[in-house]
């Protein structure tokens, strides 16, 4: 899947992840044409999504960016665990009692999440919902749980509690109280879907970001030299298993200079 390929996938011990996606393509317009730059921002998923694109027609670019924001809002409505009516909230309420049919796109994302949990030995795990609430991270009400409380909560945490049925496209929990939290991957997935929309509309030069969580550089700005240069990103390996799925990539980040790209101080691995 593109959002976990040729990307930066960050994991720290609190299971918070940052995803940095970078690919390299040719510019949208040739050097002899005058490009148009269009940029817009939109609030969704508790952050600000910003899209900057290059093309020939400003009206067309604005329409495509609006499609992007509509898709981001759709994903927010589907994946938010803050909204009782979201598909994810329905899954969390009902999957312990019976199999729940899941929309194809979300089901595929859940499959990928389980695969990444297996590959990282559980370092990435979307069943952290009970822990997030225990520590008060949910809705920002921080608190310090007791060791006994943590031990009880951990019984309901673990990707092995998720039972996915690809044939029926259903999910079921094998333990009451299991809860999925997609906060570690939803924004990165939304950025990836945004890039899919841009590409499907013929846009090959753009920058998509979701606050300080994820950023995707598509191609290079017009008049920039096409090519690839190393991405110098510090890397700390937190698990021996990471060596089997993470690798350093070479890519072009035109216009990015030292200090102009900021990431949170997290443990970073390069995929």
Q: Of 120, 152, 173, which residue constitutes the final position of a domain? A: 173
Domain membership flag for residue 100: yes
Domain membership flag for residue 199: no
pLDDT band at 8 (very low <50, low <70, confident <90, very high): very low
Q: Tell me the per-residue pLDDT of 103-134, one tens digit each, with 9 for 90 and over.
A: 999 999 999 999 999 999 999 999 999 999 88
pTM, rounded to two decimals:
0.72
Domain membership flag for residue 183: no
Reply yes or no on whether the pLDDT at 139 is more than 80. Answer: no
> What pLDDT score does 221 carry?
85
Domain membership flag for residue 194: no
Using alpha carbons, list the distances in angstroms from residue 45 to 1, 27, 223.
21, 30, 34
Please tell me the distance from the alpha carbon of residue 30 to that of residue 15, in angstroms, as a whole number.
43
Reply yes or no on whether the pLDDT at 48 is more than 80. Answer: yes
Average pLDDT over residues 129-146: 84
Using alpha carbons, list the distances in angstroms from residue 31 to 26, 28, 118, 181, 222.
12, 10, 46, 46, 7
> What pLDDT score does 212 carry?
85
Domain membership flag for residue 40: yes
Say yes or no: 87 and 43 in one domain: no
Say yes or no: 50 and 15 in one domain: yes
Report the 10 Å Cβ neighbour count for 269: 23
Residue 122 belongs to domain with CATH number: 1.10.3980.10
DSSP-derived 3-state class of residue 242: helix
Say yes or no: 98 and 157 in one domain: yes
Say yes or no: 87 and 72 in one domain: no
Q: Tell me the per-residue pLDDT of 61-82, one tens digit each, with 9 for 90 and over.
A: 999 999 999 999 999 999 999 9
> What pLDDT score does 24 carry?
41
Average pLDDT over residues 139-168: 91
Reply yes or no on whether the pLDDT at 187 is more than 90. Answer: yes
Q: Of 173, 196, 212, which residue constitutes the final position of a domain? A: 173
Average pLDDT over residues 25-31: 43
| Residues pairing with 40 in the sheet | 51
Kindly state the percentage of the chain with pLDDT values over 70.
Answer: 69
Domain membership flag for residue 180: no
Domain membership flag for residue 193: no
Say yes or no: 36 and 89 in one domain: no
Instruction: Please give the residue range of the domain that contains residue 245.
Output: 2-76+204-270
Say yes or no: 38 and 88 in one domain: no
Say yes or no: 92 and 51 in one domain: no
Q: Of 123, 154, 173, which residue constitutes the final position of a domain? A: 173
Please tell me the distance from the alpha carbon of residue 45 to that of residue 139, in angstroms, as a whole number.
13
Say yes or no: 70 and 95 in one domain: no
DSSP-derived 3-state class of residue 126: coil
> What pLDDT score does 169 carry?
98
If one counts the domains in the chain, the total is: 2
Say yes or no: 91 and 166 in one domain: yes
Say yes or no: 71 and 91 in one domain: no
Which comes out higher in pLDDT, residue 21 or 148?
148
Say yes or no: 64 and 103 in one domain: no
Domain membership flag for residue 232: yes
- pLDDT averaged over the chain? 78
Q: Tell me the per-residue pLDDT of 201-243, one tens digit each, with 9 for 90 and over.
A: 999 999 999 998 899 999 988 875 445 444 433 334 444 444 3
């Amino acid at each position: 899947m593109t959002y976990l390929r040729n990307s930066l996938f960050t994991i720290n011990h609190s299971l918070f992840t940052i995803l940095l996606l970078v690919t390299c393509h040719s510019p949208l317009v040739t050097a002899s044409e005058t490009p148009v730059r269009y940029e817009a921002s939109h609030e969704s998923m508790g952050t600000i999504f910003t899209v900057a694109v290059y093309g020939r027609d400003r009206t067309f670019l604005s329409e495509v960016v609006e499609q992007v924001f509509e898709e981001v809002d759709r994903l927010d409505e589907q994946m938010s665990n803050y909204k009782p009516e979201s598909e994810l909230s329905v899954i969390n309420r009902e999957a312990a009692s019976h199999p729940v049919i899941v929309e194809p796109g979300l089901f595929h994302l859940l499959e990928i999440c389980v695969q990444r949990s297996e590959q990282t030995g559980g370092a990435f795990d979307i069943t952290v919902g009970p822990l997030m609430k225990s520590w008060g991270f949910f809705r920002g009400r921080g608190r310090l749980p007791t060791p006994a409380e943590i031990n009880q909560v951990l019984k309901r945490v673990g990707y092995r509690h998720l039972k996915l049925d690809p044939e029926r496209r259903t999910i079921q929990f094998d333990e009451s109280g299991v809860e999925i939290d997609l906060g570690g991957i939803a924004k990165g997935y939304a950025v990836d879907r945004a890039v899919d929309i841009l590409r499907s509309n013929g846009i090959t030069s753009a920058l998509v970001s979701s606050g300080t969580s994820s950023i995707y550089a598509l191609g290079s700005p017009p008049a920039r030299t096409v090519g690839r240069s190393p991405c110098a990103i510090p890397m700390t390996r937190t698990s021996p298993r990471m060596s089997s799925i993470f690798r350093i990539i070479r890519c072009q980040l035109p216009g990015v200079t030292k200090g102009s790209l900021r990431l949170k101080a997290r443990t970073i691995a390069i995929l």
